[in-house]
Chains A and B, each alone.
Chain A
Amino acid sequence: MTLYHYLILSAILFGIGMYGLLTRRNAVGVLMSIELMFNAANINFVAFSKFITPKEFIGQIFSIFVITIAAAEAAVGLAIVLLIYRNYKGIEVDNINFMKW
């Protein structure tokens, strides 16, 4: 397995996540697509860490930070989704525009 295999896999995964991000109406579905994109970036970090800087393993350290921030993002995002559902009885992102002037 070369570095290219992992990079191509991660690029396709990022593309799938971006497609979901652009087409989903459900806010929870949007958050799931964002998780896919985070994971694509993480595969890149770990692959670079193995193939380019195997001694310093910077990529692995950084992917730990990415996972932490993704957990925080999921917690805050789902809290916002629940709040919007409670107040507006729906979480379709094309209806949520009450913060737009």
Chain B
Amino acid sequence: MFDLAFYILAVLILGSALMVVTLRNIFHCALFLVLCLFSIAGIYILLEAEFIAAVQVLIYVGAVTILMIFAVMLTHQLTGKTIRQVNDQPVPAFLIVLSLLILTLLALSKTAWEVTSSSGVSPSATELGRALMTIYVLPFEIVSVVLLVALIGAIVISRRD
């Protein structure tokens, strides 16, 4: 049952990711990105990380892809099908990616992972929140400042004078 769900989600993720990087119409790419990110939320649920799945749906599917679609709409002439979307280097890029993938898979198969058996101890949102507010409170505060600075920076960059 879990195996079947994993394989369906994996096919959805990889297929829609291929569509994202190969389609000519950038608006269709954005829609396939939504499908891909949503399937990744399903993978998080399979990994017993329900809070991460909810955050994924809220932030990625809800916010980031809406930003992408806004940008596609505001740069409207680029959605036309006549514009070439791929540069001159698909073959070298494919070779680089293939060699990287082979190296990564070799490294994966050679490493002895210390897998510990997890028997139903998936952390709840309560435990995650408690950990964020006690052990990881310094990175939490720093990342909130980073987010604030980035959003102010985005407003300053994109407003008209």
Partners in one complex: yes
CA distance A74 to B60 in the complex (A): 10
Residue of A with least CB distance to B113? A3
Residue of A with least CB distance to B149? A72
Interface size class on chain A is 35 or more
Closest-CB distance, B89 to chain A (whole angstroms): 7
Interface members, chain B 84-104 (any A CB < 8 Å): 84-87, 89-90, 92-94, 96-98, 100-101, 104
Contact A19 B116 (CB under 8 A): no
Closest-CB distance, B122 to chain A (whole angstroms): 8
Residue of A with least CB distance to B64? A74
CA distance A8 to B107 in the complex (A): 11
Contact B97 A50 (CB under 8 A): no
Give the number of chain B interface residues (Cβ < 8 Å): 82
CA distance A24 to B86 in the complex (A): 5
A83 CB within 8 Å of chain B: yes
B114 CB contacts on chain A under 8 angstroms = 52
- Chain B 24-68, CB-CB to A under 8 Å as 1, else 0, gives 001001100100110010011011110110011001100110011
Contact A64 B20 (CB under 8 A): no
Contact B146 A20 (CB under 8 A): no
- Neighbour of B64 across the interface among A24, A35, A55, A85, CB < 8 A: A35
- Neighbour of A71 across the interface among B20, B52, B63, B123, CB < 8 A: B63
B8 CB within 8 Å of chain A: no
Known A18-B100, A39-B36; further 7 A-B contacts with Cβ < 8 A: A1-B6, A8-B108, A17-B17, A25-B85, A32-B33, A43-B40, A46-B52
Residues of B near any A CB (own CB < 8 A): 2-3, 6, 10, 13-14, 17-18, 20-22, 26, 29-30, 33, 36-37, 40, 43-44, 46-49, 51-52, 55-56, 59-60, 63-64, 67-68, 70-72, 74-75, 78, 84-87, 89-90, 92-94, 96-98, 100-101, 104-105, 108-109, 113-116, 118, 121-123, 127-128, 131-132, 136, 139, 143, 146-147, 150-151, 153-155, 157-158
